[in-house]
Chains A and B, each alone.
Chain A
Amino acid sequence: MALLFVLPAILLVLVFRIIPLFWGFGLSLTSATSTDPGEFIAAGNYLRAFDDPNFRSSIANAAVVLVSVPIFVTIPMLLAILLDQGVPGRAFFRSVYFFPVVLSSVIIGSIFSVVLSFNGSANALLKVLGLPAVDWLGSSATALPVTLAIQSWSTFGMGVLIFLAGLSTVPKDMVEAARLDGARMWQIWWHVIIPELRPIIEFSMVITTIGLLTSMFGLIYVLTGGGPGTATMVPEYLIWSAQGRLNQPAYAAALSIILFVITGVLAWLQIRMMSRNANL
C-alpha cells in the first residue's frame, strides 16, 4: 500500500527522466536522424564533438562562466553579512533583492534586450554622457560578460537568502566575544563569521555551478541566440540547436551525455548534502 503512494512520483521520474537518460546514451552511439534510426557508430558522435568548433567554444565559454562562480558566491555572501549586521533598511533590501529571482529569464532577457540594443536606452544614456555607443550584445568581446552580468544580477538575491539563512545559525556570542576582545569588523568577518559559513559556501558553490550550466538557456535564447558567432554558445544551448535547427538528434544526445557527466558529479554532491539533512 505504501508503495502505491510513492508510485506516481517514481513513474513520472522514470518515464520522463531516468529511462530517457539511458535511451539517450543508446542514441548517442548511433547515427540516428529524426526519421531514420541510423546505425551503431560507437563513439563517433563523441569524437565528432571534439572536432566541432561550436562544441569547443561552448566548452571554452562554459569555462569562463565557471571561473566567475566565486564572484556569484562572494557578492551575495558579503551582502548577506551586511544585512545580518543590521544595515539600515535591511527588510526593504531583503525583499527587493529577491525580486529579480522570481522573474522569468525570458522577461529579464526581453527587457535587457530592449535596453541594450544598439539604438537602445543604455547607448542613449552613454550619448548623453558624451561616450561612444557600445554594441553590448552584438560584439563578441562584450556579449558573454554582459550575459553573465545579467545572469548574476538576476540570481544574486537567491544567494543572499541562502547566506542569510546560514548566518542565522552563526552563534551570536562568538561574534560578541570577538568584539569584546577588540577585534575589528573585518577581522570578525574573516576569522569568525566566514569560517562558520563554510558549509553554506560549499552548498552555494555547488548549486550556483549547476545553475550556470543548466539554467542560462532562457537568457541566451532571448538575448543572443548563442552569438555573435559562438561568443555566448554554451553546452545546453548547443544541445538545443543541434537537436532542433541542425536536426542531428544523435549528436545532440551525445552532447547531452557530456553535459550529464560534467553536471552529474556536482549534482551528486548536492544530493548528498540534501539527503544528509532530510532526517530519514
Chain B
Amino acid sequence: MAAAGKRQRWALRIAAIPMGFLALSCLYPMFFAINNALKTRHDYLQDRFGLALHPTFDNFVQAWTRSHLNEYFLNSVIATLGAVLLLTVVSSLAGFALAVLRFPYRRFLFVVILSSLMIPVQVVLVPYMRTMLALNLINTHVGLILSYTAFFLPFSVYMMTAFYSGLPRELIEAARIDGAKLLQVWWHVMVPLGMPALVTLGIINTLNCWNDILIALLTMQKNRTLMVGISALKGQYSDQIPLFTAGIVIAAAPIVVLYIVFQRRIVSGIAVGAVKG
C-alpha cells in the first residue's frame, strides 16, 4: 500500500521474519521425507539432518515392489479417477437442473443434498458398512468410487449450482429455443460453460479422494489404497525409516505435483467456495 506509514512498513517487515519461519516449517517435513528417503539405513542412523550425500533410489525401488506400493498406487489411481469423473458428471447434471431448470421441489432437493453435509461418514459408520456389504461392494473399486462420490458430492453440487446460477440466463434460453433436448443443452452448453468450475472441482476432489483414509480403511482391506497401505507400513518399518519415508514420498508425489502445477487454481477455487459461504 502506497500510503502506508513508515512505521507500518517496518512493522510488516519485522512480521515477515516469523512468517518466514512458519513458511519454512510448511516445506520442511516434505523435504525431510525426501532427503531421508535418499539415504541408506546406515547413513540415516549416522546423520538424520544432513543432506543425503550419496543419494540412492534403492528405497524407492524396494517400497514400490517389495512393499506392494505399486498395487496400492494403482488402487488409488482407479478410485480417484473414477470418483472424480463421476463427481464431475453427477454434480454438473444436478447443478444444471437446480440452477437453471424450473421444476417442483427444486429448492427442497437442493437442501436435501446440502444437508447431507451434516452426515459425515463417522456418523453413519456401521450402517454405511452394512449397506456396502448388502450391495456386495466391499473390497471393490466400484464400491469405493460410489462411496467417494456420495461423500464428496454435496460440496460439488453446491459449487456447480452456485456457478450455473451466476451465468446469464440468455445463454441457456438461446440453446433451448433452438429446440435442443435438455441432455444436449447440458452436454453442448452447460459442460463447456461450466469448465472453469468443473476443473477446479476436479482438482479439489482429486485431493479429497487421494488423501482419504477412513472410507478406504473401512471398505478396502483387501485392495488397499496408498493411504491405507502407508499407515500399515508405519508399524512394520519403524526401524527402516528411509524405506518408510520413500513410501511416504511415493504416496504424496502425485499431490505435490498437482499442487505445484495447479497451485493458483487450487488456491482460488477453494477461496471461491469459502467466500460463497
* Residues on the A chain within 8 Å of B248, using CB: 107, 110-111
- State how many angstroms separate the Cβ of A279 from the closest Cβ of chain B: 5
Q: Is the CB–CB distance between B211 and A106 below 8 Å?
A: yes
**Closest B residue by C-beta to A5:** B97
| Chain A contact residues: helix, strand, loop or mixed | helix
- Quick check: is B154 within 8 A (CB to CB) of the other chain? yes
Q: Is the CB–CB distance between B182 and A2 below 8 Å?
A: yes
* Residues on the A chain within 8 Å of B54, using CB: none
Q: Give the number of residues in B that approach A within 8 Å (Cβ atoms).
A: 108
Q: Is the CB–CB distance between A104 and B158 below 8 Å?
A: no
- Quick check: is A179 within 8 A (CB to CB) of the other chain? yes
| Chain B contact residues: helix, strand, loop or mixed | helix
- State how many angstroms separate the Cβ of A101 from the closest Cβ of chain B: 8
The range of chain A's interface size is 35 or more
Q: Is the CB–CB distance between B241 and A114 below 8 Å?
A: yes
Q: A110-B230, A256-B126 are in contact. Are A6 and B26 (CB under 8 A)?
A: no
Binary A-proximity of B108-129 (CB < 8 A = 1, otherwise 0): 0111111111111011111111
**Closest B residue by C-beta to A273:** B277
Q: A114-B245, A277-B277 are in contact. Are A98 and B153 (CB under 8 A)?
A: no
Q: Is the CB–CB distance between B26 and A104 below 8 Å?
A: no
Q: Is the CB–CB distance between A99 and B114 below 8 Å?
A: no
Which of B6-14, B63-71, B193-201 is the interface stretch?
A: B6-14
* Residues on the A chain within 8 Å of B245, using CB: 111, 114
**Closest B residue by C-beta to A249:** B126
- State how many angstroms separate the Cβ of B255 from the closest Cβ of chain A: 6
Q: Is the CB–CB distance between B267 and A12 below 8 Å?
A: no
Whole-angstrom distance between the alpha carbons of A212 and B106 in the complex?
A: 32
- Quick check: is A142 within 8 A (CB to CB) of the other chain? no
Q: Is the CB–CB distance between A259 and B123 below 8 Å?
A: yes
Whole-angstrom distance between the alpha carbons of A268 and B271 in the complex?
A: 21
In B175-192, the 8 Å CB interface with A consists of: 182, 186
Q: Is the CB–CB distance between B119 and A21 below 8 Å?
A: yes
Which of A48-56, A59-67, A158-166 is the interface stretch?
A: A158-166
Q: A5-B96, A103-B30 are in contact. Are A268 and B161 (CB under 8 A)?
A: no
Contact partner, A169, options B1, B16, B26, B275, Cβ 8 Å? B275
* Residues on the A chain within 8 Å of B231, using CB: 106, 109-110, 221-222
In A93-122, the 8 Å CB interface with B consists of: 93-100, 102-115, 117, 121
Q: Is the CB–CB distance between B116 and A104 below 8 Å?
A: no
Whole-angstrom distance between the alpha carbons of A87 and B92 in the complex?
A: 39
Q: A114-B244, A279-B165 are in contact. Are A99 and B122 (CB under 8 A)?
A: no
Q: Is the CB–CB distance between B126 and A27 below 8 Å?
A: yes
**Closest B residue by C-beta to A106:** B227
Could you give 21 example pairs across A and B, Cβ below 8 Å?
Answer: A5-B97, A10-B113, A13-B112, A21-B123, A95-B263, A102-B266, A105-B211, A105-B213, A107-B230, A107-B251, A107-B255, A111-B29, A111-B30, A161-B270, A166-B275, A185-B8, A243-B126, A253-B127, A260-B119, A263-B120, A280-B165
Known: A9-B113, A257-B123. 10 other contacts (CB 8 A): A21-B119, A21-B124, A88-B12, A93-B23, A96-B26, A104-B251, A125-B49, A203-B274, A253-B126, A253-B127
